[in-house]
Amino acid sequence: MPEKKATSPKPQASSEKSSHVAPGGTAPTSEKPMTITAGKAGDIGGLVSVKIDDIDIKVPFGTTILEAAKTVGIRIPTLCYHEDLCLAGVCRICVVEVSKQRTLQTACTFPVTEPVTVSTTSQRVRQSRRHVLDLLLSKHYGECYSCFRNNNCELQALAKEYGVDFFRFGHPDKPRFEIDRSSYSVVRDMNKCVLCRRCVRTCIDLQSVGVLTAAHRSDKTKIETFLDRPLADVICINCGQCINRCPTGALRAKDPSDEIWAAIDDPKKHVVMQTAPSPRAAMGEEFDLPPGTSVTQEMNTAIRRAGFDMVFDTNTTADLTIIEEGTELLTRLYKALVKKEEAFVPQFTSCSPGWVKFIEHFYPEWLPHVSSCKSPQQMFGALIKSYYAQKQNIDPADIVSVSLMPCSAKKFEANRPEMRSTGFKDVDFGLTTREMAQMIKEAGVDLPHMPKTHFDLPFGDASGAGLIFGASGGVMEAAIRTVIEVVTGLKAEQVFTDANVIPVRGFEGVKYMEIKVPQTGPMLDLFKPLIKKGRLGKDWTWLNGATLKVAVAHGTANARKVMEDIKAGGKFAGCHFIEFMACPGGCIGGGGQPIPTSPSIRAARAKAIYAEDMGLALRKSHENPHVIKLYEEFLTDGPCGEQSHKYLHTHYTPRGDYLV
């Protein structure tokens, strides 16, 4: 008889353990997701009665008390619980009385498998919650005024909610730990840590990296890296997912805004901003707008008012990436299918620096599959200090190039030594959505009420294809729109309704799609130099009737699944092109985005991006006039040509267990 299982109805994080073993140690393991085996067959799928504070409801077998309470509008406080993560049950703030149980039970973990009566308000419950807070505060060193989570901190909010008016069990007056600022991306201040382990679970369950673990016991317990090394000295992919799920100010991104203010205040400096597609769909949240409110053009104005000289759209180089990476894909396919030479197919995307560092560490032997294209951020950076500087006659030494990114890994990427194709750093500072919002506030600018303005020339506004890079599947969709048109001569709309490639959208961890090439069309002039070099044929007939197989993975735990499948020669090994994004949901869920994050918040942001794309006239990268002009004026030997290779392409470091 097969084993009957009922899992909690809410999707739970994968419990995939990191297969990486840190030098000399084993990867930490996370708490296991809960599986409940039913006693009786009838229990499964059935409804169970629960009485919560005199409200009678029926919930599906296995629903937690927390979820059940939510459905009837009863709020139970939580701290270690996070919708994206498996259950820990460690903070004990969510305790409730449950019938037949001697002790209090944690609502976040307790599954309803038989009728129970729950009280969320007893004296014991109130006192316990207050004590948990008192105890956490007795160890918490930090000043709310000077904390980036001020007014957006779960600990602070609970202290207010539970009426903490004095420190019952004391309060530290000096820090116990040194702040770790070693990483380019993530700053760790363990004095503010409440040991909820959300970061640990994030890094293992969602990201499959396993940087962080609970070390030591009892009151010496501390979240540590391997051997408590500085974060820069362990294998961290800088994704910042831990930051987004930390309830307190213990984790934050490294903030460069002081240096940027200094540049803004320096009259000699020309401070240029490029903005990635995702921040615009999330920045509103920092100004109390509901998730999913797009503020693109208000933001443009606000950024200029904060003192930036120019605001460009990273979507422009997203469009450029599609041309370059799409061309690279076609040349690889030509090499593999026509010339029958090793061409390292499937090609992997390279726009997510968290993913790039992940593969450098965990699958270094697969690096030849990664597109040599720089990420859109770095492409733009290189163009600003070359093409733009020449065109505007500005000394690149005087340009300070800042990028507004949803991402903390972009900070690390900007500091990669290989990202200096102009002799200067392509990008001087990567700024997160949160940090930009802070700068805008600091400048006294009320973003939601700003007049709308366009992006600045010479790059102007970009295509919807560049915009959807922000959501998981977006790069793939943008590439498909372009490749289909280029190869078949058809309009993308003739192949996909409204040119929307639905199968690659959404939040399923790994997505897969097959596209049949219905016909082939004429060769574009753009590819002439490549034909001359023998990297492409005179026509596309070799692709006629072919089936393109593509896949999309987001969150590096899912990336690991795909990579393991490829290694085992599974379905994904037969793909031609795979999009990998380090962050769950893609960039809209990036480690630099507004806090909190949740599946519904990410869905709202993605919806905003897709809606904006639908509203644009220009929705395909290869139709972006500014990109076409770029090839005419600057990248004159075409996509994947020498000029393009100098500025827009890069190489990778097989790191394995090593840091460099």
Residues forming the active site: 325, 328, 351, 371, 410, 413, 418, 587
**363: exposed, middle or buried (C-beta count within 10 Å: 0-12, 13-18, 19+)?**
buried
- Return d(Cα 456, Cα 452) in angstroms, integer: 13
Closer Cβ to ligand SF4, 250 or 486, answer by number? 250
How many residues lie near ligand FES (CB under 6 A)? 12
Residue from the set 13, 86, 93, 440 that interacts with ligand FES by CB under 6 A? 93
Nearest distance in Å: CB 11, ligand FES: 18
Using CB under 6 A, which of 77, 240, 509, 639 touches ligand SF4? 240
By the rule CB under 8 A, 90 interacts with another protein: yes
Considering only 88, 187, 239, 551, the residue that binds ligand SF4 (CB under 6 A) is 239
Member of 13, 22, 107, 136 binding another protein (CB under 8 A)? 136
Distance CA 614, CA 610 (A): 6
Q: Which of residues 159-188 bind ligand SF4 (CB under 6 A)?
A: 186
Under rule CB under 6 A, residue 78 binds ligand FES: yes
Short-list 104, 108, 102, CA closest to 127: 104
**Could you count the other beta carbons within 10 Å of the beta carbon of residue 566?**
21
From the list 104, 93, 175, 105, the residue with the least C-alpha distance to 134 is: 93
402 DSSP β-pair partners: 273, 429
- Which of the choices ligand SF4, another protein, ligand FES, none does residue 184 contact, using the CB cut-off of 5 to 8 A by kind? none
Phi, psi for residue 260 in degrees, rounded to 5: -70, -40
Q: Which is nearer to ligand FES, 158 or 608 (CB)?
A: 158
* Contact status, residue 590 vs residue 598, Cβ threshold 8 Å: no
- The answer to whether 333 and 345 have CB atoms below 8 angstroms apart is yes
- Residue closest to 351 by CA, chosen among 621, 83, 604: 621
Partner from another protein, ligand FES, ligand SF4, none binding residue 103, C-beta < 5-8 Å depending on class: another protein
Order of strands across the sheet that contains 510-516: 347-348, 577-581, 547-554, 510-516
Residue 37, contacted partner among ligand SF4, another protein, ligand FES, none, CB below 5-8 A by kind:
another protein
Cα(87)–Cα(282) distance, integer angstroms: 27
Using CB under 6 A as the binding rule, whether residue 147 contacts ligand SF4 is answered as yes
User: Does residue 571 contact residue 511 with C-beta atoms inside 8 Å?
Assistant: no
* 186 interface partner picked from ligand FES, another protein, ligand SF4, none, CB below 5 to 8 A per type: ligand SF4
What residues pair up with 64 in beta bridges, in sequence order?
A: 111
Tokens of 637: 């030997």
Report if residue 347 touches ligand FES, rule: CB under 6 A. Answer: no
Closest CA to 103 of 114, 111, 92: 92
Name which of residues 198 to 217 contact ligand SF4 (CB under 6 A). 198-199, 202-203, 207, 209, 211-212
- Asked if 169 interacts with another protein (CB under 8 A), we say yes
Ranges within 530-549 binding another protein (CB under 8 A): none
Chain residues binding ligand FES by CB under 6 A are: 78-81, 89-94, 106, 108
Chain residues binding ligand SF4 by CB under 6 A are: 140, 142-144, 147, 149-150, 153, 155-156, 186, 192-199, 202-203, 207, 209, 211-212, 223, 236-242, 246-251
